[in-house]
Amino acid sequence: MMSSRDSILSQIRQNKPEEVALPAVTTFASNFANTEDKFREMLAAIYTEVIVVKNLEELAQKAEALYQGIVNRATTIPALSAWADFSLNVSDPHELETVEIAIVQAEFGVAENGAVWISDQYLPHRVLPFITQNLAFVIPRNALVDNMHQAYVRLQDTLGWGCFIAGPSKTADIEQSLVIGAHGARSMVIFLLEDE
Amino acid sequence: MSKTVMEHAEASAVFNRDEPYVNWHDETLWFVRQKRDKSSKQLPEWEELREAASGIKHYVLAHLDELLISFEQKAKENGVQVHWAANAAEHNEIVLGLLKKHKIDKMVKSKSMLTEECHMNEFLSKNGIEVIDTDLGERIVQLRNEPPSHIVLPAIHLKKKDIGDLFHEHLGTDAGATDPQYLTEAARQHLRDKFLTRRAALTGVNFAVAETGGFVVSTNEGNADMGAHLADIHIACMGFEKIIPKQEHLGVFLRLLARSATGQPITTYSSHFKKPREGQEMHIVIVDNGRSTQLGRKDFRNSLKCIRCGACMNTCPVYRRSGGHSYHNAVAGPIGSILAPNLDMTKNADLPFASTLCGSCSNVCPVKIDIHEQLYKWRQVLAKEGYVPKSKEIGIRAMSTVLAAPRFYQWSGRLGRTVMRAMPFMVNNALNPWYKQRDMPEPPKESFRDWYVRNRKN
């Protein structure tokens, strides 16, 4: 007897339509007047604050001011190690359940939708940006692309795992009323780092 | 579920008993449709994007075998285990087998319409496995022992009071509480505990990339990621039509998906899975369940282009006024009505008739499926193969007799108008389906033909 794999494939071969080519055009340019302005505009609409910082020193000051009085602060950024009080050096990701705020280095942002790309390359644990109660990303100020087509030009390899994250977690499953903080982060801040 | 299945028209009549409720349902979905319009108009290239998406999906249908083989090979190279299921039963057995192998009897699940189609939760529950749906809307309908009524908005048929009462009973929220913020917080606490204690997570797949062996899962809540990144074993289930050729094509589809679904420029999370994390097992189950048959139906194969955005439901005047449950199929609305007869013509013969054929569904479809034309074509197939209900068949036959004989047509028109004028109760009664929820129009004094004949003489 044929395996399910082979019987599915053979039925597909028998039933598939005639050969066609891929469409010639599958990418488009967005031509925003100002990419960063668009990025900010999209993030404002999804309850995300964008803060420009000149250098890592200013980042540390801003982090201190913004998350005053919060315990269980974690970060992947060495310059913030004095600010953090929670070590990400754990073997079991379940131990991250008490993280209140994580400030995490990420790769780049997308202006058309406010999404930021984060991947295995920047994270000791994949669950960190989801399990933390509050999330902040730090990306270079010049690391912004206009749209998703450009994003995938940049992302030749998505690594083992990666994610576009646009704003805090949300749901509108109860009578279409928007509620921020479904299962993931309850708040999101994006630091645009000028230096480097 | 296991309730007696009512036909669409019958179930719609029940849904329409409460007029203010139906109006609310109608307006809520129309609001979502308007958000889609606003969002799509932000992109000057919107129509070109739809064309590109439709073209890519057309290529997919013509190369499905090669693309699936490439996907399988790459996924295996990435350390992912690939399974193939010819039908729902085999899919369910594969999932059960994986759980049994790991001695797991509790699992979290994020949204997967495929597992609804396969009735997986019921099957696993009968085999001693507890499945917790983690999407808020899905958790709500699961606690109510109901299927989702919409593929993107599973609890869209419920008012916040219904949910408040439900959570009071199951999650111990305050009696009478209806604040969505408060209720969502209660669900967050309840489900966080599940995420932290379950060793297996099942997710759906929005797109699987043949070129890389990776797959993308989109959510707003973050539930797919919370489940998958904490569990020892991640099982991702996909209908085989979810395949796309190249990673760059995600640019096209992710730009269309959320804008079409809810008007958002992108969902909060678009998670790209390729390799399991260290110490984790990752499985992909590729499911046929009638799809290869649909592929062979020339008139209907385009339905396999669907990316499950739900835009056709939000815009459909019949869906909005009959509710998702009246379609008695995992996927409701216009797209569900062209997918369902392929699965079972006897059970789903009513669905292609649950449409006005207005064409709004085809106009909003991000992959340009000719939905209303397929609905029309299904009617012919179903009638020809004898699946059309007797009442409808008698009506159609009577109609064709009248329309085929001009003199008889003129006479019956005159008779009808006279009867409606002289004895309105003959049509304004419960036996006339056109009288439901509306009054019959004033009959004109004469037909257009009579008027034309009279005026031409002058």
B288 to A21: CB separation less than 8 angstroms, yes or no: no
pLDDT bucket at B407, cuts 50 / 70 / 90 = confident
**pLDDT of amino acid B1:** 41
What tens digit of pLDDT does each residue of B357-381 get?
A: 999 999 999 999 999 999 999 999 9
Which of B36, B91, B136, B268 should we substitute to test contact with A (largest number of A Cβ atoms within 10 Å)? B268
pLDDT bucket at B2, cuts 50 / 70 / 90 = very low
The answer, yes or no, to whether residue A184 has pLDDT greater than 90, is yes
**pLDDT of amino acid B417:** 86
A152 to B160: CB separation less than 8 angstroms, yes or no: no
Which residues on A lie below 8 Å from B301 (Cβ)? Answer: 15, 17
Tell me the residue length of chain A.
196
Rg (chain B; Cα; Å)? 25
On whether the CB atoms of residues B203 and B222 are closer than 8 A, the answer is no
**pLDDT of amino acid B392:** 76
**pLDDT of amino acid B416:** 85
- To which residue do tokens 């609409």 refer? A45
Segment B299-321 mean pLDDT: 98
Backbone φ, ψ for residue B442 (5° rounding):
-60, 130
**pLDDT of amino acid B390:** 75
How far apart, in whole angstroms, are the C-alpha atoms of residue A171 and residue B222? 10
Which residues on B lie below 8 Å from A19 (Cβ)? Answer: 62-63
| Of A170-174, B236-240, B408-412, minimum mean pLDDT range | B408-412
B180 to A179: CB separation less than 8 angstroms, yes or no: yes
The answer, yes or no, to whether residue A121 has pLDDT greater than 90, is yes
How far apart, in whole angstroms, are the C-alpha atoms of residue A188 and residue A139? 13
On whether the CB atoms of residues B270 and A163 are closer than 8 A, the answer is yes
**pLDDT of amino acid B362:** 98
Q: Out of A22, A169, A183, whose CB is closest to B245?
A: A22
How far apart, in whole angstroms, are the C-alpha atoms of residue B397 and residue B394? 5
**pLDDT of amino acid A56:** 97
Kindly report the nearest CA distance between residue B275 and chain A, in angstroms.
4
- To which residue do tokens 């008993």 refer? B17
What tens digit of pLDDT does each residue of B131-183 get?
A: 999 999 999 999 999 999 999 999 999 999 999 999 999 999 999 999 999 99
Q: Which amino acid is at A107?
A: E
- The token pair that represents B118 in the structure block: 């396969």
Q: How many helices (H) and strands (E) does chain B have?
A: 22, 10
- The token pair that represents B88 in the structure block: 């729902």
Q: Which amino acid is at B212?
A: T
- The token pair that represents A162 in the structure block: 């990666």
How far apart, in whole angstroms, are the C-alpha atoms of residue B302 and residue B61? 8
What tens digit of pLDDT does each residue of B222-235 get?
A: 999 999 999 999 99
More confident residue, B456 or A100: A100
How far apart, in whole angstroms, are the C-alpha atoms of residue B37 and residue B346? 36
More confident residue, B55 or B432: B55
Half-sphere exposure in the Cβ direction for B75 (13 Å, CA): 26
Q: Which residues pair with B85 in a beta bridge?
A: B287
Share of chain A above pLDDT 90, in %: 95
Segment B245-272 mean pLDDT: 98
Query: Quick check: helix, strand or coil at residue B148?
Result: coil
**pLDDT of amino acid B436:** 74
What's the whole-number average pLDDT of chain B? 95
Which residues on B lie below 8 Å from A94 (Cβ)? Answer: 196, 230
The answer, yes or no, to whether residue A20 has pLDDT greater than 50, is yes
How far apart, in whole angstroms, are the C-alpha atoms of residue B267 and residue A168? 11
Residue of B nearest to A119 (CA): B272
Q: Hey, is the C-beta of B231 within 8 angstroms of any chain A C-beta?
A: no
Segment B76-97 mean pLDDT: 98
**pLDDT of amino acid B241:** 98
B56 to A23: CB separation less than 8 angstroms, yes or no: yes
Segment B11-20 mean pLDDT: 94
B68 to A12: CB separation less than 8 angstroms, yes or no: yes
Distances (CA, A) of B281 to A155, A190, B228, B312, B394: 25, 33, 10, 37, 57
Helix (H) / strand (E) element for B271: namely strand B269-273
Helix (H) / strand (E) element for B353: namely none
- To which residue do tokens 């928007």 refer? A178
**pLDDT of amino acid B87:** 98
Which residues on A lie below 8 Å from B39 (Cβ)? Answer: none
What chain A holds in terms of domains, given with CATH numbers, is 33-193 (3.40.50.10420)
Q: In which order are the strands placed within the sheet that holds B243-244?
A: A144-145, A108-110, A115-119, A161-165, B269-273, B215-219, B207-209, B243-244
The answer, yes or no, to whether residue B266 has pLDDT greater than 60, is yes
B61 to A164: CB separation less than 8 angstroms, yes or no: no
Share of chain B above pLDDT 90, in %: 83
B2: left (phi over 0), alpha (psi -120 to 50) or beta: alpha
Q: Hey, is the C-beta of B55 within 8 angstroms of any chain A C-beta?
A: yes
What tens digit of pLDDT does each residue of A36-89 get?
A: 999 999 999 999 999 999 999 999 999 999 999 999 999 999 999 999 999 999
Instruction: List helix spans (H) across chain A.
Output: 4-15, 35-45, 56-66, 128-131, 148-154
Which residues on B lie below 8 Å from A112 (Cβ)? Answer: 255, 265
Distances (CA, A) of B416 to A123, B208, B400, B441: 75, 58, 17, 12
**pLDDT of amino acid B458:** 67
What chain B holds in terms of domains, given with CATH numbers, is 8-292 (3.40.50.10420), 303-390 (no CATH), 405-457 (no CATH)
Residue of B nearest to A24 (CA): B52
Backbone φ, ψ for residue B163 (5° rounding):
-75, -40
Q: Hey, is the C-beta of B144 within 8 angstroms of any chain A C-beta?
A: no
Kindly report the nearest CA distance between residue B65 and chain A, in angstroms.
6
Q: Out of B48, B155, B230, whose CB is closest to A173?
A: B155
Which residues on B lie below 8 Å from A131 (Cβ)? Answer: 226, 229-230
Instruction: List helix spans (H) across B63-179.
Output: 64-77, 88-101, 113-117, 120-126, 136-143, 160-171
- To which residue do tokens 């064709």 refer? B400
Segment B413-431 mean pLDDT: 82
Segment B397-404 mean pLDDT: 85
How far apart, in whole angstroms, are the C-alpha atoms of residue B54 and residue A55? 46
The answer, yes or no, to whether residue B28 has pLDDT greater than 80, is yes
A26 to B184: CB separation less than 8 angstroms, yes or no: no
Q: Is B440 exposed, middle or buried (0-12, 13-18, 19+ CB in 10 A)?
A: middle
**pLDDT of amino acid B401:** 85
On whether the CB atoms of residues A161 and B273 are closer than 8 A, the answer is yes
- The token pair that represents A59 in the structure block: 């980042």
**pLDDT of amino acid A196:** 59
